[in-house]
């Protein structure tokens, strides 16, 4: 029986990377006087690695090898990441990033039907809270039984650990749940935890490999605003609703 839905955050609930995280990283670099700048194109490459601190290390290792590293590089990165989180949550506070089509409707319907909800993301917990509060309202934090986020597990996506952690907290089998993801690292993680996964792509993840996904869509769709199917069979549906999720789950 379908008992729970587990959502990724970045790219899945909202398109947060290009106009959110990327902008906040650049603001943090500027604030401390670094000449680092992450363009939309460079950020596409940097998204190969999940986790903001991990991404900054990846940037230095592969795209800015000239940078003279201080001895306490990891402290510097941790400080930068705190500044970035401040900028990011401020951006969300201004209402800069809306939820993707169908997300609010599906969450509302799932709650009404008594489905359990959780989040599994590599982003920092404050960022999840800020996104939920600014889009679904303060009370929405409590709609999610488990918010698995950030450094709660050392191995971030594509490792399955964050989904395994969420499932263990909920005392649920993967077979009783569906996951929602937007990226290759995300689906590797959810599939690694044996979860059937629904993909909604975005500009950064269009060309990712989603082999094994239950279905790949451009978004969840709304009544009168149909999704496009990129892989899989929607059985005539035009937006993701609980009936469609039940079909996917039992297929
Ligand atoms: C999200 C991420 C995160 C965010 C930045 O990946 O990779 O690193 O880009 O967040 P996913 P932090 O959607 O697969 O969970 O800077 O807070 O790490
Ligand atoms: Mg994502």
Q: Are residues 75 and 188 in the same domain?
A: no
Rounded CA gap, 140 and 135, in Å? 9
Q: Looking at 8, 15, 161, 182, which residue is catalytic?
A: 8
Total-model pTM: 0.96
Q: Are residues 57 and 104 in the same domain?
A: no
Cα 54 to averaged position of ligand 1 atoms, centre (Å): 10
- Cβ contact 102:222 at 8 Å: yes
Rounded CA gap, 184 and 208, in Å? 6
Does residue 10 carry a catalytic annotation? Answer: yes
Q: Are residues 31 and 49 in the same domain?
A: yes
Instruction: For residue range 59-108, list pLDDT tens digits in order.
Output: 999 999 999 999 999 999 999 999 999 999 999 999 989 999 999 999 99
Nearest CA to ligand 1 atom 7: 50
pLDDT of 195 reads 98
Cα 52 to averaged position of ligand 1 atoms, centre (Å): 6
Query: Which of 68, 93, 118 represents a domain boundary (last residue)?
Result: 93
Q: Are residues 150 and 113 in the same domain?
A: yes
Q: Are residues 81 and 23 in the same domain?
A: yes
Does residue 8 carry a catalytic annotation? Answer: yes
Q: Are residues 161 and 186 in the same domain?
A: yes
CATH number of the domain to which 32 belongs: 1.10.150.240
Q: Which ligand is nearest to the CA of 189?
A: 1
pLDDT of 21 reads 98
Q: Are residues 60 and 115 in the same domain?
A: no
- Cβ contact 22:45 at 8 Å: no
Query: Which of 67, 93, 119 represents a domain boundary (last residue)?
Result: 93
Q: Are residues 206 and 86 in the same domain?
A: no
> Residues enclosing ligand 1, CB less than 6 A?
8-11, 17, 21, 50-52, 55, 121-124, 127, 157, 183, 185-186
Which segments in the chain show pLDDT lower than 50?
A: none
Give the domain range for residue 184: 4-16+98-250
Domain count of the fold of the chain:
2
Cα 207 to averaged position of ligand 1 atoms, centre (Å): 19
Query: Which of 93, 115, 130 represents a domain boundary (last residue)?
Result: 93
pLDDT of 239 reads 98
Nearest CA to ligand 1 atom 13: 10
């Amino acid at each position: 029986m379908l008992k729970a839905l587990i959502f990724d955050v970045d790219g899945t609930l909202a398109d947060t990377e290009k106009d959110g995280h990327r902008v906040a990283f650049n603001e943090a670099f500027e604030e401390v006087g670094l000449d680092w700048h992450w363009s939309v194109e460079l950020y596409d490459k940097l998204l190969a690695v999940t986790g903001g601190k991990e991404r900054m290390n990846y940037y230095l290792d592969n795209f800015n090898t000239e940078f003279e590293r201080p001895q306490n590089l990891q402290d510097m990165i941790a400080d930068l990441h705190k500044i970035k989180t401040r900028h990011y949550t401020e951006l969300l506070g201004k209402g800069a990033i809306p939820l993707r089509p169908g997300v609010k409707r599906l969450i509302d319907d799932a709650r009404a039907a008594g489905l359990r909800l959780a989040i599994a993301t590599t982003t920092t917990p404050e960022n999840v809270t800020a996104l939920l509060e600014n889009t679904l309202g303060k009370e929405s934090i409590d709609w999610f039984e488990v918010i698995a986020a950030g450094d709660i597990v050392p191995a971030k996506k594509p490792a399955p650990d964050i989904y395994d952690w969420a499932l263990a907290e909920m005392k649920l089998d993967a077979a009783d749940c569906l996951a929602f993801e937007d990226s290759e690292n995300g689906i590797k993680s959810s599939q690694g935890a044996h979860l059937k996964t629904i993909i909604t792509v975005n500009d950064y993840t269009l060309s990712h490999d989603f082999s094994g996904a239950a279905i790949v869509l451009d978004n969840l769709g709304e009544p009168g605003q149909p999704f496009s199917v990129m892989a899989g069979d929607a059985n005539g549906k035009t937006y993701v609703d609980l009936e469609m999720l039940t079909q996917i789950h039992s297929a």
